[in-house]
Amino acid sequence: MDSTAPSRDGSVNGSGNGTVQSVDRALDVLEALAERGGEAGLSEIAAGTGLPYGTIHRLLRTLLARGYVRQESDRRYALGGALVRLGGVAERMVATLAQPYLARMVELSGETANLAVLEGDFVVYVAQVPSPRRLRMFAEVGRRVLPHSTAVGKVLMADRAEEEVAALVGRTGMPRRTANTITDLPGMLTELRRVRERGYAMDLGEEELGVHCMAVGVRDGGRTVAAMSVSGPVGRIEVLDREELAEGMRKIAHDFGVALGA
């Protein structure tokens, strides 16, 4: 029997890969909303998915009914509360899976290692393995911060188009956390280009004075889905060989990305 034969609603994708077209398209809509900070108008969803307006309307009706999308008073659409339940379970699974890889980063650097993701417009720390040293950095798991002043945030933004970055910081602003914080869009875009060129990001006392942080991206399916970092007192981070540390961190992050896709 042909495994790609259409079901009664004709929704099996005809490409031969056995995917269900309606599910595929619904996920495209959710991803388009997520990529636009969790909220978008119909035209933005259409631009992000390439789907016809009629198809998007039908998909949104189902997603609205199931609570995965909600409609705002200005007729824009936003990610709904049903995703929070799924996201919470997924985050806990990812955090558990990340522990041995974060432990490798601690062994590599001697400093606290963190895993963070971008949720809407905020960076969220989802896992941590602390440094064994008495003086160590600590970022509370579940803490939400704006991305512009952190190394993990820069790594996560560097994977996005400059227009998306501009839209994100346009919504959140770029408040000054310390005298070192980048607070203007041109400066941030230049910094993100530097991140892409060298393959890692630095926070040089931009979120908290006296603390330096290095972060690398975790890629899955060709996209940066998370960031892993090490952070410590400026005096200890400065004496490390930055390129050697980055190379080791990228290897660990690659291994973690492979595990995520397994």
pLDDT at 13: 54
Residues in the chain where the model's pLDDT stays below 50: 1-10, 262
pLDDT at 10: 43
Any idea what DSSP says for residue 176? Answer: -
Which residues are bridge partners to 40 per DSSP?
A: 77
pLDDT at 185: 97
Please measure the distance between the N-terminal and C-terminal CA atoms of the chain and give it in whole angstroms.
28
pLDDT at 39: 86
Which residues have CB under 8 Å from 184's CB, separation 6+? 174
pLDDT at 16: 52
pLDDT at 255: 94
pLDDT at 190: 98
Domains and CATH numbers, the chain: 21-80 (1.10.10.10), 84-260 (3.30.450.40)
pLDDT at 8: 39
pLDDT at 84: 66
Q: Count Cα atoms within 13 angstroms, Cβ side, for 27.
A: 6
pLDDT at 73: 78
Find out whether 60 and 29 touch, Cβ atoms under 8 Å.
Answer: yes
Which residues are bridge partners to 230 per DSSP?
A: 113, 214
